[in-house]
A = this chain, B = another copy of it.
Amino acid sequence: MYALGAHLLVELKDCNAAMLRSLEEVRDALVSAAREAKATIVDISFHEFSPFGISGMVVIAESHLSIHTWPEYGYAAVDIFTCGDVIKPEAAAAYLIERFESKSPSIVEMKRGILSHDNVKRPHKCTESHLQVA
């Protein structure tokens, strides 16, 4: 069986709420997590909402990381969607659990793109020779 990607849905509960309220902190955490995972960062987009709450996305060559924070609950929803063999998504998840001091984290992993027809790997953007943004 071959899946094109792995998607970690990370629930960060009981976090350090002050960190979840800070745009700079959240952005730095996600970018650092992407680097921990050895990802190739393509674009970064972070937004702060009123009265509070941060949403952010890090587009990587290997797919994306995203975060949405609810500081009033000490909760953040993180997604780490990756493809390829070089990248280490669990390293990104572990980094964020520690960075946000989550006392009650959980992770659901879903395989994305399980293709049944021939199980032959075809060259795609996640292979090293294709890590090039057009």
Select A81's contact among B11, B52, B79, beta carbons within 8 Å: B79
Which secondary structure dominates chain A's binding surface? strand
A108 at the interface (CB under 8 A from B): yes
> Separation in Å of the A43 CB from the closest CB of chain B?
5
Copies of this chain: 2
> Separation in Å of the A110 CB from the closest CB of chain B?
6
Q: Nearest CB to that of A132 among chain B residues?
A: B50
Chain A interface size range: 35 or more
Select A49's contact among B66, B115, B122, B132, beta carbons within 8 Å: B132
Contact residues in B for A95 (Cβ distance below 8 Å): none
Task: Write out, one digit per residue, whether chain A residues 54-95 have a CB within 8 A of any chain B CB (1) or not (0).
Answer: 011101010110101010110101010101000000000000
Other than A51-B125, A66-B66, give 18 A-B pairs with Cβ distance below 8 A: A4-B73, A7-B77, A13-B115, A45-B59, A47-B59, A47-B133, A49-B130, A49-B134, A50-B125, A50-B130, A50-B132, A50-B133, A50-B134, A51-B123, A52-B124, A57-B59, A64-B68, A73-B115
